[in-house]
Structure 1
Amino acid sequence: MIERAVAADAGEILTVQRAAYVSEAQLYGDPFISPLVESVEQVRKVVEAGIVLKAVEAGRVVGSVRGRPSGSTCLVGRLVVAPDQQGRGVGTALMNSLHESVEAETFDLFTGHLSEGNLRLYRRLGYRETHRERMDDHLTFVHLRRG
């Protein structure tokens, strides 16, 4: 079930986020990527101020995604799925729900260049690469757009 997150979900969302991003941190050799060092208070503020959807299964938050409208564009961020739920369509369901619930002409997001699973998912959902942004020696962001 996909539904809008509330402030009380911040702790569970952060737990899923940290579990989901451990593999990204290992992939890029950086244990201090922002999703891993974000605080529960920061997540709570995002939930209160923006659009955060959560996937719930058997009473447990198993995934979430953030959307932030900016003009006619929705900036998509922090798509996370609990590691034991990955590959079961949770991420696709979250993204489809975000696309349906936010009125926007385009949806923009980015992911790391080595994150092949993420890139496959986004391309399957209709996102196309717009440009790459080299952040440092070990990380290049791949920017994608749908719409």
Structure 2
Amino acid sequence: MVSCILQLLAFESEAAMIGIRDVPALQETENHCRRDFANWTTLKLLSDDGTIIGVIRYRENDDLVEVGRLMMHPDYRHQGLAQRLLSEVDKAAVGKTKELYTCTKSWINIRLYEKMGYRAVKEVAEDSGLSFVYMRKK
């Protein structure tokens, strides 16, 4: 449940950045969020007092690792913690191709993913008006 609360905090600022609140992560109910997290391996980053301040999830499908919902508490951004979470996925899935997606307007996220070795492979426009870029790292 705490990851679901963090999801709301993290993606509210994402919605503000792109100018639309129709972000998939903000449309989920708490029950759906909890059920969905059960289908992923989830890594959490804790503050000194044990509060969850960052989360990333991933799941492996043969040689492809789907990376999803990299979330940082707004008070802990710009400290290299998201890079640390992405690096942990790299360590857990050595030699496998990783794939993730983000909104094409999320230039901060795109810049981070490029810095970590991800490259855009396709863009998909949805009926909601949002476009997403899929990125891979080999």
Structure 2 length as normaliser, TM-score? 0.89
Aligned-pair identity (%): 28
- Aligned AA (1:141): F
Say whether the 8 Å CA contact 1:28–1:139 is kept in structure 2: no
Distance 1:47 1:18 in 2: 14
How many Å apart are 1:65 and its aligned residue? Answer: 0.8
- Aligned AA (1:115): S
Distance 2:91 2:60 in 1: 13
How many Å apart are 1:29 and its aligned residue? Answer: 3.8
Q: Which residue of 1 aligns with 2:13?
A: 23
Q: Which residue of 1 aligns with 2:108?
A: 117
Q: Which residue of 2 aligns with 1:79?
A: 70
Distance 2:37 2:128 in 1: 33
Figure out how many residues of one structure are paired with residues of the other and give that number. Answer: 137
Per-residue CA distance 1:43-76 (angstroms, 9 max, x = gap)? 3333433211111012110010110112210011
How many Å apart are 1:38 and its aligned residue? Answer: 2.1
Provide the aligned C-alpha RMSD in A. 1.8
Structure 1 runs of 4+ with >4 Å offset: none
Q: Which runs of 5+ in 1 are unaligned?
A: 1-10
Q: How does 1:11-90 map to 2 (within 5 A)?
A: 11-58=1-48, 59-90=50-81
